[in-house]
Amino acid sequence: MTAHKRYPIPDAIKDTTLLNEEQYQAMYNQSISDPEAFWAEQAGMLEWYQAPTKIKNTRFGEGEVSIKWFEDGELNASYNCIDRHLADNAKKTAIHWEGDTPGEAEAITYQQLHYEVCKLANGLKKLGVKKGDRVAIYMPMVPQAAYAMLACARIGAVHSVIFGGFSPNAIADRINDSDAKVIITSDEGRRAGRSVPLKTNVDKALADGACPSITNAVVLKLTGADVDWNDDVDVWWDELVDDCTGQCEPEVMNAEDPLFILYTSGSTGTPKGVVHTTGGYLLYTAMTFKYVFDYQPDDIYWCTADVGWITGHSYMVYGPLINGASQVFFEGVPNYPDVRRIAQVVEKYKVNSLYTAPTAIRALMAHGDKPAEGCDLSSLRLLGSVGEPINPEAWEWYHRVLGENRCPIVDTWWQTETGGIMITPLAGATELKPGSATRPFFGIEPALFDADGKELEGANEGNLVIKNSWPSQARTVYGDHERFINTYFSTYPGVYFTGDGARRDEDDYFWITGRVDDVLNVSGHRLGTAEIESAMVAHSKVAEAAVVGYPHDIKGQGIYVYVTPNDGVTADEALSKELRDWVRNELSPIATPDKIQWSEGLPKTRSGKIMRRILRKIAANEHDQLGDTSTLADPSVVDKLIAERLNK
């Protein structure tokens, strides 16, 4: 194996870091050898109405999975994010909102955040929302998205944020799965100079009584666009909160009360409603935010994610706010109006730590050094990466062009289900190797297993599992605990299975190799092949479809679809376009197929199971590595597919 380039810890970081190597080792060792004592002490990072005395009560048994942390503790998430800062930092900026259009901006202090959140919390109460009720949030990247989440948390309602890029069907599915009572949205969203018809999408989702649990839609007037109005359901945000006060007593919540549901794609079936609870989630996100970003009280932090994903929940709302941080909240995209936008925003707000995704980095890298041209990036101290494996070339570009060869990069591996960052370098403690997420955070015990369930030791490659529970672990799949157990705890009894593959090197550094199941990672967005396939076959001209990922320069993975049209249907460019548009509308623009290959038949086993392994190889143009094809019902299908493949 080739020796990897190493990047030592910069001297400037050594002077200010919260944790050096020795401190990391000591804390890590304690977190593993005595989790009770470790987490009992860390729990002091939060403010509790009732401090927990029972710390960890977790079982990953076969057939029985029960995860409880701090179970007798009582607290409120919105209190921890806002109220506790008011005594000393009421005037500190919590959110520097930067609009899609340069020049549009607004600063929100902790005091204002308190006022806005309380008003909306009171407004939701007026609509009858109570502790435990679910509230769907379908919002663009404006501060009101954070207000909405925190208002729910304040009154003990469970928020379920639906990414603003999802289409009406996907919205309806998520509302119905969680029986949401209210949905909060805006007239439109804005992205890269275009408008996104959020309210219209909600109208379509609710049409014809499709979402019977919804009693009201709260609508923020953002662009002022004309929208249809249903007096029985719709209520303007401003009008709702007009007569509400800016004071709202936080609801006292048990540590194990649910804080939110977030839907995520799995390898089979419909998206799962991953449930996170209050105490453990808040503590772990607060702590990872502090140490992973080596947070200093005057820092300006910027995460470019969207609140519709877990990164937006943990590292744009809960983690930074619990720490009382000032952060940039960005409505737009990295290359609008041009590819210098990220660098310009860094310069404007003097950003100290920037957290973004490899797909954004690769898109900028395609423009050479231009994305940083003429911009002052000297404020940056630390860079972060999340969402997909970062290839060493992108890492090097990020380090050189945005990091000016000065800033360490924390490549953070984690998942919706893990709630917070699991494997990551710490800027002051970890020598970096481009492409490696390096070492576990406190309390995390990663291991590698082979296909037979045997644990692999030393430098090795296998399936990544976590051997013991950590505070921000998902507790269940909403309404389906059985599915939770089957998905994460049945492959390897007694441990949590991540669905990712990884390699551990001679320094015990982890290198995440990507999903080992049928989950795609397209531009850092997690998509299930099953969801895209079911959208495809819902089209009247499609008999059968199989979806696989293939290597894509910018997106990481592209979506490759094999389609068998119905008899008598002409398979041509027009149909290809029709199917692409169909998936956009049925599911989401992010799920739009990149390539559609017509196929008379798909490779199947004699029992009728599609052999995706073979389809993946053909799509990746690795047809000389098909492996064992002896179990195919009709091997000639494969030759045809290879002859007609699109990636020649």
The residues binding ligand WTA (CB under 6 A) are 264, 309-311, 385-389, 411-416, 437, 498-500, 512, 514-515, 521, 526
For ligand WTA, the closer CB: 328 or 474:
474
CB nearer to ligand WTA: pick between 52 and 271? 271
572 annotated ligand-binding residue: no
Task: State yes or no: 504 annotated in a binding site.
Answer: no
Q: Which helix (H) or strand (E) holds 368?
A: none
Between 270 and 415, CB nearer to ligand WTA = 415
Neighbour tally for 209: CB within 10 Å: 7
Residue 488, CA atoms < 13 Å, CB-side half-sphere:
32
Query: Annotation-wise, does 493 bind a ligand?
Result: no
Which H or E run includes 411?
strand 409-412
Burial per residue of 264-285, b for 16 or more beta-carbon CB atoms within 10 angstroms, e otherwise:
bbbebebbbbbbbbbbbbbbbb
Least distance CB 582 / ligand WTA (angstroms):
24
**Cβ partners under 8 Å of residue 499, min gap 6:** 267, 415, 515, 516, 517, 519
Type of residue at 235: V
Rounded to 5, what percent of the chain is helix, strand, coil? 35, 25, 40
CB of residue 177 vs ligand WTA: minimum separation in angstroms? 17
Q: Find out whether 416 is annotated in a ligand binding site.
A: yes
* Cβ-contact 423, 446 below 8 angstroms: yes
Type of residue numbered 472: S
Between residues 70 and 413, which has the closer beta carbon with respect to ligand WTA?
413
* Least distance between ligand WTA and beta carbon 511 (Å): 9
Nearer to ligand WTA, 389 or 565 (CB): 389
Q: Which residues contact 10 (CB under 8 A, 6 or more apart)?
A: 406, 407, 408
Count helices and strands (H / E) in the chain.
21, 31
At closest approach, how far in Å is the CB of 4 from ligand WTA?
A: 16
**Is residue 192 annotated as involved in ligand binding?**
yes
**Closest chain position to ligand WTA (CB):** 416
389 is in an annotated binding site: yes
Closest approach of ligand WTA to the CB of residue 501, in Å: 9
535 membership: H or E segment, kind and range? helix 529-537
362 labeled part of a ligand binding site? no
Nearest to 139 by CA among 391, 329, 352: 329
Helix (H, G, I), strand (E, B) or coil at 491: coil
Orientation angle between helical segments 143-155 and 110-126, nearest 10 degrees: 60
Of 110 and 413, which has the nearer Cβ to ligand WTA? Answer: 413
503 is in an annotated binding site: no
Q: Least distance from C-beta 379 to ligand WTA, angstroms? A: 24
Q: Please list the residues that pair with 499 across neighbouring strands.
A: none
Ligand-binding site membership of 515 (annotated)? yes
- First-to-last CA distance in the chain? 29
DSSP H/E element including 598: strand 595-598
**Shortest separation between residue 647's beta carbon and ligand WTA, angstroms:** 22
C-beta neighbour count of 604 within 10 angstroms: 18
The two beta strands, 476-477 and 353-356, are unpaired
**Distance of closest approach, residue 392 Cβ to ligand WTA, in angstroms:** 13
229 is in an annotated binding site: no
Give min distance, CB of 292 to ligand WTA, in A: 11
Nearer to ligand WTA, 171 or 512 (CB): 512
* For ligand WTA, the closer CB: 399 or 526: 526
Q: 422: helix, coil or strand?
A: coil
Residue among 102 and 514 whose Cβ is closer to ligand WTA: 514
Task: Tell whether residue 66 is among the known ligand binding residues.
Answer: no
413 is in an annotated binding site: yes
Min separation Cβ 556 and ligand WTA, Å: 9
Q: Please tell me whether the peptide bond between 52 and the residue prior to it is cis, using omega within 30 degrees of 0.
A: no
Residue 247 marked as a ligand binder: no
- For β-strands 74-75 and 253-254, DSSP reports them as antiparallel
For ligand WTA, give the closer residue by CB, 520 or 536: 520
CB atoms under 10 Å from CB of 573, counted, come to: 8
The binding site comprises 191-194, 311, 335, 387-389, 411-416, 500, 515, 523, 526, 537, 539, 542, 584
User: Residue ranges for the binding site for CoA?
Assistant: 191-194, 311, 335, 523, 584
Q: Which residues are annotated as a binding site for Mg(2+)?
A: 537, 539, 542
**Binding site membership for ATP: which residues?**
387-389, 411-416, 500, 515, 526
